[in-house]
Amino acid sequence: MSANEYDDVLGLGKVSPEVLERSVFSLLPMEAEPTLDGGTISLDGKAVIAHSPSIGVPLDALGFFAFHYAASNVAARFGRPRHLVTGIYLPLETRERDLRTISRNIGDEAKRYGVTVVAGQTATYYGLEIPLITTTCIGEPVGNSVMPRSGDRVFILGSVGGEAVWLERLSSGSGNDDFRDFTPLPCALRMHGIPGVRLMHDVSEGGVKRALLEVTSANDCRIDVDSALIEYADGAEALDLDVLRAPTYGALIVVVDPDNSARVQDVCSELDVPASDAGVVSEGEGLYIDDERVQVGHRMAIDEVYGSFRKER
Report whether 175 contacts 58 (CB < 8 A): yes
Q: Is pLDDT of 241 > 80? A: yes
Euclidean distance between CA atoms 292 and 217, whole angstroms: 17
Residue type, 298: H
4: left (phi over 0), alpha (psi -120 to 50) or beta: alpha
Nearest Cα to Cα of residue 66 among 183, 158, 147, 144? 183
Q: What's phi and psi for 46, nearest 5 deg?
A: -80, 160
The C-alpha angle 285, 287, 288, rounded to 5 degrees, equals 115
pLDDT tens-digit readout, 201-234: 999 888 999 999 999 999 999 999 999 999 999 9
Domains and CATH numbers, the chain: 3-141 (3.30.1330.10), 153-305 (3.90.650.10)
Cα separation of the two ends of the chain:
22
Strands (E), 146-196: 153-157
pLDDT tens-digit readout, 135-191: 999 999 999 999 999 999 999 999 999 998 888 888 777 767 788 999 999 999 999
Report whether 99 contacts 15 (CB < 8 A): yes
Burial 150-171 (b: 16+ CB within 10 A, else e): eebbbbbbbbbbbbbbbbbebe
Neighbours of 187 (CB within 10 A): 26
Question: Mean pLDDT, to the nearest integer, of 116-138?
Answer: 95
pLDDT tens-digit readout, 78-119: 999 999 999 999 999 999 999 999 999 999 999 999 999 999
Q: Is pLDDT of 28 > 50? A: yes
What pLDDT band is residue 299 in, cutting at 50, 70 and 90?
Answer: low
What pLDDT band is residue 3 in, cutting at 50, 70 and 90?
Answer: low
Residue type, 311: K
In this predicted structure, which of 120-134, 172-186, 244-258, 276-290 has the lowest mean pLDDT? Answer: 172-186
Residue type, 121: Q
Euclidean distance between CA atoms 264 and 180, whole angstroms: 22
